[in-house]
Structure 1
Amino acid sequence: MEVCKNSDIPHDEWWEFISGSDNATAFQTPEFYQFYNSVPGCSADATAIYERGKINALLVITNQRTAGLSGFFSKRAIAYGGPVLGQSSDELLTELIIRSTQSLKGNPIYLEIRNNNDYSAYKRAYSGMAWRYVPYLNISLDCKGKTMDDILKGMTYNRRREIRLSVEAGATVHECTSDNELREFYLILSNLYETRVKLPLPSYDFFRLFREKQIGPVFIVRHNEKVIGGSVCPCLPGRSINTLYYCGLRDYHKRIYPNHLAVMGPLEYAVRNKIDLLDFMGAGLPSKNYGVREYKKEFGGQLREYGRYVKILNPVLYYLGKSVLSIKKKSRK
């Protein structure tokens, strides 16, 4: 068994492994790793385990920290999508996780693996490494072999009607064509995170570099030449597309629903480019009411419990940070 890290992993061997895996996503590609390392204030670590001269396991971990006081309490290492394994083996997974989490950049307060596939078979292996399982939900929509008519028929009646009304009122969705469009979208998104989501949001550079490095399409929703929403979607060609960020102006027009069209962008893209799956990503905890989950379900996707694995490295800062974030949320109500 041999371990290779970061830029020492040959690009062609990396892609060969990803292309042959059923559980790979855009988050484990060399391009995503390089993109994350290009964003100011962010970085990423990649680890590959070789067996018999070929990659047999791989994990990309992003290291994140936002500016300001809240950033000090939110230093985190997140592996989107989870590990990619060439074979089912607790020993292989354990070796990958241990090697991946040694000498991480940025001194993270906690580690989190956000699964986009079913890794329930490895709960015992994670538990043995002192990781805690969180039953986080996910929603995905099977697009394989489907037309847009098929996709629309799978939505609730009201969702179809609201999309139709939006289009009839002149709203459109298209791939982003300029920095000005992207900046206008980012202003809407940052206002949403400041006033309602109340969670850290990457800087504009993140979105600018995402588009420049073509990690996936960026969609813009417009009406009467005005940007009213959009979405940012990492994509693994032929396999999956993810709604990493999406938003729309609230109460913009009584017959226009910008959020809906922000999701229609990647849906139409998936059908047009023969992509098998649209992943809506997070849908909250099953024990808690979550409006975003109900919203996503109306597009016809399937609810799944892929869960997350969390490991707290600095309990004092972790729980203090949660308290600071809770106070921050309450102060903005």
Structure 2
Amino acid sequence: MPIKIVNTLNDLIWRDFIEAQPQANVYHTPEMFQVFSNAEGHQPALWAAIKDDGTLLAMLLPVQVSLQNGSLHAWTTRAVVYGSVLTIQGEDGADGLRFLLREYNTFARGKFLLTELRNQSPIDSIQPVLSECGYAFEEHLNYLVNLDVSEDVLWHGLSKSCRQRVHISIDKGTIVQEVSDSDQLEAAYGKLQSVYQRVHVPLAHISLFKAALDICSPLEMCKVFIASVDNTCIGACFNLIYNGRMHAWYSGSDRAYAAYNPNELLKWHSFLWGKAHGCHTFDFGGAGRPNEAYGPRAFKAKFGGELVNYGRNVCVHSPLRYQISKTIYRVARKISTTSPKPCQPFAKQVNNIFMYLAYNRPNPPFIGITKGNQ
């Protein structure tokens, strides 16, 4: 079967393809491609396998995420396929994916460290093809909350302590409102910044969030909520929406207002908004690896969701550089905790970069009192 690879698609063909695939998610949409295109440090690409008759067989949308330019670019860049691969069903889809990944791997070799596929749904049928093409499966957990139930059932799905925290937050006067302008967005981003700086994990540039607000919010594909007390922003959450699924994207809160429980209230508010607007599922966006401690997992577990393990698939394109990066990470981490203070800022910066990239961690080890970046 003759197959060709293309790197551009007609918008109508693109939309028809994802609408026909049950496993399509928000990260497969042209809108999110535009968001990443407008975000500093992000470089999205489109790879699609097409038959001679024009049938689209498989799609890959890797986003190169870079933390440094110049000579360190290849050492501090990885490609993340946030929505994983998307194929038609059957042998044609598998053949198209196999051909696509082989061509892509040839292109990627030596250009960046690795490519990570973040599986948003079960893809057991194509795991043999992924393994054959060098994409090793890694277990990764997630929580999915069913919103297609009554509000009472949804409420009692929360743990008792979680319900109490929501009540306390409301009683203390915490209010939740939707972000609608740049000033509110900057306040929300500020909450993320303080959390990510505290745990020494790089945060995406604000341009990513501005693009999401500009491009996706008018289409009801992005909702940003902030929790406030006396007109002071104390927490924020960013959600993506597509085809009935509400996806937790980023969130953070101010430690000084931990007693106000903004994180619990923001999640409960997101549930209610999603339910009222036709969403059937709230996707927590990841809960870490099964055999590794991950603080936010306990927070997410309180909301009564189903624990799933769709995993991720990773292909290392530069094995030697990858191993060196891991070594640099270990050394930098040791220096940042044991060296004299003048050496620590530089060591911490190096540590941040290589923890994020070389150790392939999409989620920070612990974000505030709640959850990590998706």
The one-letter code of the counterpart of 2:210 is R
Show the 5 A alignment for 1:104-119. Answer: 107-119=111-123
Q: 1:319 to 1:185 in 2, by over 3 A?
A: farther
Aligned length: 328
Residue 71 of structure 1, CA deviation: 6.7
Show the 5 A alignment for 1:201-220. Answer: 201-214=203-216, 215-220=221-226
Partner of 1:269: 273
Which of the residues 136, 142, 148 maps onto 2:146? 142
Q: 1:328 to 1:173 in 2, by over 3 A?
A: farther
- Whether the 8 Å CA contact 1:170–1:223 is kept in 2: the answer is yes
1:161 aligns with 2:164: yes
The one-letter code of the counterpart of 2:281 is L
1:163 is paired with a residue whose SS is: helix
Show the 5 A alignment for 1:39-118. Answer: 39-51=39-51, 52-67=53-68, 73-89=75-91, 90-103=94-107, 107-118=111-122
Q: Structure 2: how far apart are the matches of 1:150 and 1:3?
A: 50
Residue 4 of structure 1, CA deviation: 5.4
Q: Structure 1: how far apart are the matches of 2:244 and 2:308?
A: 18
- Alpha-carbon RMSD across the aligned residues, in angstroms, is 2.4
- TM-score, normalization by structure 2: 0.80
Which of the residues 294, 303, 309 maps onto 2:298? 294
Q: 1:101 to 1:223 in 2, by over 3 A?
A: farther
Structure 2 unaligned blocks of 5 or more: 338-347, 349-374
1:189 aligns with 2:192: yes
Q: Structure 2: how far apart are the matches of 1:265 and 1:106?
A: 45
- Whether the 8 Å CA contact 1:77–1:110 is kept in 2: the answer is yes
The one-letter code of the counterpart of 2:114 is Y
Partner of 2:29: 29
The one-letter code of the counterpart of 2:280 is D
Residue 105 of structure 1, CA deviation: 11
1:132 aligns with 2:136: yes
Q: Structure 1: how far apart are the matches of 2:308 and 2:258?
A: 33
Q: 1:329 to 1:249 in 2, by over 3 A?
A: farther
Structure 1 unaligned blocks of 5 or more: none
- Whether the 8 Å CA contact 1:247–1:258 is kept in 2: the answer is no
- Whether the 8 Å CA contact 2:196–2:202 is kept in 1: the answer is yes
Q: Structure 2: how far apart are the matches of 1:283 and 1:177?
A: 29
Q: Structure 2: how far apart are the matches of 1:249 and 1:71?
A: 33
Q: 1:277 to 1:253 in 2, by over 3 A?
A: closer
Q: Structure 1: how far apart are the matches of 2:329 and 2:212?
A: 27
Which of the residues 224, 227, 231 maps onto 1:225? 231
Residue 70 of structure 1, CA deviation: 8.2
- Whether the 8 Å CA contact 2:110–2:317 is kept in 1: the answer is no
Partner of 1:178: 181
Residue 193 of structure 1, CA deviation: 1.1
Q: 1:327 to 1:247 in 2, by over 3 A?
A: farther
- Whether the 8 Å CA contact 1:63–1:78 is kept in 2: the answer is yes
The one-letter code of the counterpart of 2:320 is V
Residue 85 of structure 1, CA deviation: 1.6
1:53 is paired with a residue whose SS is: coil
1:234 is paired with a residue whose SS is: strand
- Whether the 8 Å CA contact 1:27–1:234 is kept in 2: the answer is no
The one-letter code of the counterpart of 1:227 is C
1:170 is paired with a residue whose SS is: coil
2:289 is paired with a residue whose SS is: coil
Which of the residues 138, 155, 163 maps onto 1:152? 155
